[in-house]
Amino acid sequence: MSREKFKRIEGRSPAFLALIAGLGILVLLGLGSAWTMEHHGHVITGMNNRIVWGMPHVFAVFLIVAASGALNVASISSVFGRTAYKPLARLSVVLAIALLMGGLSVLVLDLGRPDRLIVAMTTYNFRSIFAWNIYLYVGFIGIAGVYLWVMMDRTVARFSKPVGLIAFVWRLALTTGTGSIFGFLVARQSYDAAVMAPLFIAMSFAFGLAIFLLVVMVSSGGTGRELGDATVRRLKNLLGIFIGAVLYFTVVQHLTNLYAAEHHAVERFILLDGGIFTTMFWVGQVLIGAVVPLVLIYAPVFATNRQAIALAAVSVVVGGLAQVYVIIIGGQAFPLVLFPGKIVSSSAADGVVAAYNPSLPEIGLGIGGVALALAIVAMAVKIFALLPKTLADAETGPT
């Protein structure tokens, strides 16, 4: 597809203006939530000395992981030579940048003292995975920006494949780093597993593509662009593969933990006795996040039903948030095993499951980050020629 077949949207319709206004209100909600937590302190949140990563971190990690996966379509186009995905490559890159910026904004505003970010950017402990992630996140935005440039400027278009390859490798490193945050935490029985890295890579593929599919469907319908059945079929079948990959690595994670006696207690907590965490695992993560979308994607009765495909993508997003909640909050709620094989008794709530009730400011901040990411995408498609004039089957081709 040539450059002339991409077109900006006018962005003057009442629907578009209402969208921007609604997202703006949600962004202000997030900023207000951040100010409230900064002014009153984190004592007003559900976080405490045992649950130090709360709902803002659930939203932030979800957005950061999804950002990596949103770049899939661009990578498939330029790195693997599948020309049918080329018309959507620009939007893929912009969505990846927007999701990462939304996630990082939540993290920064949840610091309580956002100015402390200066310390994190100028003082590095390279034995910490958090220090590595500073480079991975900033580098991702920079490389993705260059990637978008070589796509849109025909004078440097010949560099799209090598730049795309660098972006592909970098995003794998980024997601590996994010998963390793948990995999390297040996003190937490629910973490401390090398499988966390490939699990997060699979999660990124599924979450990012689900969001991308929804953005494509909404933007095509909202701007009157034709969206061919072949494009929808390619994206939803690819999404099904990624959902299966997430389910596979989840099974591997829990079977591996069940094999080791030291993890039996935490596995029983997550899978059987964890209350809200067990419910979110089986109902949210497994049923809504995997079983339902796989049925909607592969059952013949729903094969060409776009409402069912959109519902499958929404289910993946909801299930993804549940999965990240179980990993982050559930992993912290389970009591630390300070002295394996010993009975520990003290006044410090040893052996007691930590309580956590998310507060409205936490949820508001997370929603604000999501709204910021979507607002960036909405404004980008108005300012830049990111959307193809048509995605009809005759234009996208068979490959």
| Residue ranges covered by each domain of the chain | 3-337+350-388
Q: How far is CA 298 from CA 84, 184, 236, 282, in A?
A: 21, 36, 9, 21
What is the mean pLDDT of the segment spanning 288-307? 94
The span from the CA of 273 to the CA of 320, in Å, is: 21
pLDDT at 347: 64
Of the pLDDT bands very low, low, confident and very high (cuts 50, 70, 90), residue 233 is very high
Place of tokens 């809504």: 288
Of the pLDDT bands very low, low, confident and very high (cuts 50, 70, 90), residue 398 is low
pLDDT at 109 over 80: yes
Of the pLDDT bands very low, low, confident and very high (cuts 50, 70, 90), residue 339 is low
* pLDDT tens-digit series, residues 61-102: 999 999 999 999 999 998 888 888 989 999 999 999 999 999
**Is 351 within 8 Å of 206 (Cβ atoms)?**
no
What is the mean pLDDT of the segment spanning 298-320? 94
What is the mean pLDDT of the segment spanning 249-264? 88
pLDDT at 14 over 60: yes
pLDDT at 354: 86
pLDDT at 372: 97
pLDDT at 145: 95
pLDDT at 4 over 90: no
Of the pLDDT bands very low, low, confident and very high (cuts 50, 70, 90), residue 395 is low
The reported pTM is 0.93
The span from the CA of 10 to the CA of 8, in Å, is: 6
pLDDT at 170: 94
pLDDT at 3: 44
Least confident of 46-60, 115-129, 199-213: 115-129
The tokens for 161 are 């494949």
pLDDT at 112: 65
**Is 177 within 8 Å of 139 (Cβ atoms)?**
no
Amino acid at 274: G
Q: Element (H or E) spanning 182, and its range?
A: helix 160-183
Output the CATH code of domain 3-337+350-388. 1.20.1630.10
Strand partners, 388: 6
Of the pLDDT bands very low, low, confident and very high (cuts 50, 70, 90), residue 390 is confident
Least confident of 11-20, 84-93, 116-125, 287-296: 116-125
Least confident of 38-47, 282-291, 315-324, 333-342: 333-342
Q: What percent of the chain has pLDDT over 70?
A: 93
The span from the CA of 11 to the CA of 87, in Å, is: 20
**Residue that wins the pLDDT comparison between 127 and 298:** 298
Mean pLDDT, all residues of the chain: 89
Q: What percent of the chain has pLDDT over 90?
A: 59
* pLDDT tens-digit series, residues 152-197: 988 898 899 999 999 999 999 999 988 888 887 776 778 878 889 9
The span from the CA of 58 to the CA of 397, in Å, is: 39
pLDDT at 1 over 70: no
* pLDDT tens-digit series, residues 187-232: 677 887 888 999 999 999 999 999 999 999 999 988 888 888 899 9
pLDDT at 352 over 90: no
Helix (H), strand (E) counts: the chain: 16, 2
157 Cβ contact partners less than 8 Å away, ≥ 6 residues apart: 150, 151
pLDDT at 147 over 90: yes
**Is 364 within 8 Å of 56 (Cβ atoms)?**
no
Q: How far is CA 326 from CA 58, 69, 277, 330, 334, in A?
A: 9, 20, 6, 5, 11
DSSP SS3 for 39? helix
Nearest to 216 by CA among 233, 240, 201: 233
* pLDDT tens-digit series, residues 366-383: 999 999 999 999 999 999
The tokens for 331 are 């992993």
The span from the CA of 117 to the CA of 204, in Å, is: 25
